[in-house]
């Protein structure tokens, strides 16, 4: 008996005398978990805790029963097979600027010669290059979109844009109606765009997917930002957290969902540090101006802006990736604010000095740095995922987003 391990299994029901909201609140407090994670836990029967001794399993049984969850204890089958060694696999980008320059310049020339028609093929070639040169655990990513599908979406998006411009010039009332309607179309565009990108991305021949809902997209696109304005931007960290949760929790690798584990408190800490930085540089610049040193004040203000810019570029990306899990696997991101600012500024300067010709090297340089700072903590291996059914989806959502400048991303 002492060598056996046990699991505490949830039966998918709550005990008499409890309601759903009460049980969810109790489990949130017990596990210190997010509401989204508890809701997924209660959505089906599952093992809540594994690898327990009999005494520990009894303790969990008692606490979960008191919280209102209908649970039971069972002997864990083949415990040796269920325990996994952890392995840190670093992301690697192997592309080179000179190599990508050939693809980039040909894409531009053919797009011009075909009056933009080749842009769909250019998009696929660009993505295939960056995906194919990004490796994780000795395997490359794949980009599988069909250029014809993208071209159809762009033509429809262009037709919609032309119709809007024509209506705006001829009938102001129709343009207003069009604009109001577009508000309700925007969440659909967001979800379709994210799903098109995900489902045409693959790793080890398993496609990604995105299953975010229209209502969730509407909340993060309009409701939360409006509430933030009404609260004088005090909800900005919460809005960012809701956006990250929408993207992460809606994403899938095969049939396995990703999950954002960060609490709202972590987002407020990030913005709190930023406010302290702003206050420090503002005070220093003010004191310099009072001392009649305007040049020094300008330098302090410039350094402060760049410091804040790098802090958010690196900080938001690190927070999102470090808080995202895929089953038992997790991610690590160690982007440095100073390095991000240096790469961004030096890339921008070189692109200007070369009249844009340095752009391929700039993109490769940033991709290589981001990859070098990103890794995955693999529990066991990545061979156990089950590929979701290969489903084709229209590119219209993504291309409408491009046509109307609707962009949506975590970082």
Q: How many CA atoms lie within 13 A of 348 on its CB side?
A: 6
CB within 8 A of 400, min separation 6: which ones?
Answer: 153, 156, 157, 160, 185, 189, 192, 193, 406
| Residue 206 CB coordination number (10 Å) | 19
User: Is residue 164 helix, strand or coil?
Assistant: helix
Contact 52, 64 (CB under 8 A): no
pLDDT of residue 80: 44
pLDDT of residue 388: 45
pLDDT of residue 81: 46
Instruction: Tell me the C-alpha distance between 247 and 319, whole Å.
Output: 14
In the sheet that holds 6-14, the strands lie side by side as 46-52, 6-14, 69-75
CB within 8 A of 85, min separation 6: which ones?
Answer: 379, 380
Which regions in the chain score pLDDT beneath 50?
1, 79-83, 388-392, 403-406
Residue 264, both tokens: 């709202």
With vertex at residue 318, the alpha carbon angle to CA 315 and CA 320, rounded to the nearest 5 degrees, is 105
Q: Which residues pair with 330 in a beta bridge?
A: 325, 377
pLDDT of residue 340: 94
pLDDT of residue 392: 47
Q: What is the pTM of this model?
A: 0.74
């Amino acid at each position: 008996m002492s060598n056996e391990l046990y699991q505490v299994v949830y039966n998918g029901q709550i005990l008499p005398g409890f309601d759903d909201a009460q049980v969810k609140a109790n489990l949130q407090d017990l596990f210190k978990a997010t509401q989204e994670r508890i809701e997924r836990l209660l959505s089906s029967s599952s093992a809540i805790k594994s690898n327990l001794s009999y005494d520990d399993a009894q303790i969990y049984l008692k606490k979960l029963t008191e919280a209102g969850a209908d649970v039971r204890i069972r002997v864990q089958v083949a415990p040796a097979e269920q325990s996994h060694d952890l392995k840190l696999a670093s992301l690697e980008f192997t592309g080179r600027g000179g190599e990508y320059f050939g693809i980039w310049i040909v894409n531009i020339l053919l797009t011009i010669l075909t009056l933009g028609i080749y842009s769909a093929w250019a998009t696929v070639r660009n993505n295939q290059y960056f995906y194919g040169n990004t490796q994780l655990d000795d395997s490359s990513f794949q980009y599988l979109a069909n250029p014809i599908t993208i071209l159809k979406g762009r033509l429809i998006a262009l037709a919609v844009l032309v119709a809007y411009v024509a209506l705006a010039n001829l009938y102001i009332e129709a343009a207003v109606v069009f604009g109001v309607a577009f508000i309700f179309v925007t969440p659909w565009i967001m979800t379709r765009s994210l799903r098109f990108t995900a489902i045409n991305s693959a790793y080890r021949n398993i496609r990604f997917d995105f299953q975010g809902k229209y209502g969730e997209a509407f909340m993060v696109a309009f409701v939360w930002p409006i509430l933030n304005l009404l609260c004088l931007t005090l909800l900005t960290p919460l809005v960012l957290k809701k956006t990250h949760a929408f993207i992460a929790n809606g994403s899938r690798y095969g049939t396995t969902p990703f999950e954002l584990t960060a609490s709202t408190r972590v987002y407020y800490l990030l913005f709190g540090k930023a406010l302290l930085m702003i206050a420090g540089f503002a005070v220093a610049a003010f004191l310099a101006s009072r001392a009649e040193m305007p040049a020094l004040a300008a330098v302090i203000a410039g350094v402060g802006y760049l410091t804040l810019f790098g802090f958010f570029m690196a900080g938001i990306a690190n927070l999102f990736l470090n808080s995202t899990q895929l089953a038992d696997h997790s991610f690590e991101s160690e982007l440095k604010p100073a390095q991000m600012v240096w790469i961004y500024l030096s890339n921008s300067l070189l692109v200007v000095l070369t009249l844009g010709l340095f752009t391929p090297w700039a993109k490769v340089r940033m991709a290589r740095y981001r990859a070098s700072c990103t890794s995955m903590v693999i529990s066991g291996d990545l061979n156990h995922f089950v590929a979701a059914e290969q489903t084709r989806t229209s590119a219209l959502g993504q291309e409408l987003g491009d046509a109307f400048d609707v962009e949506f991303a975590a970082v």
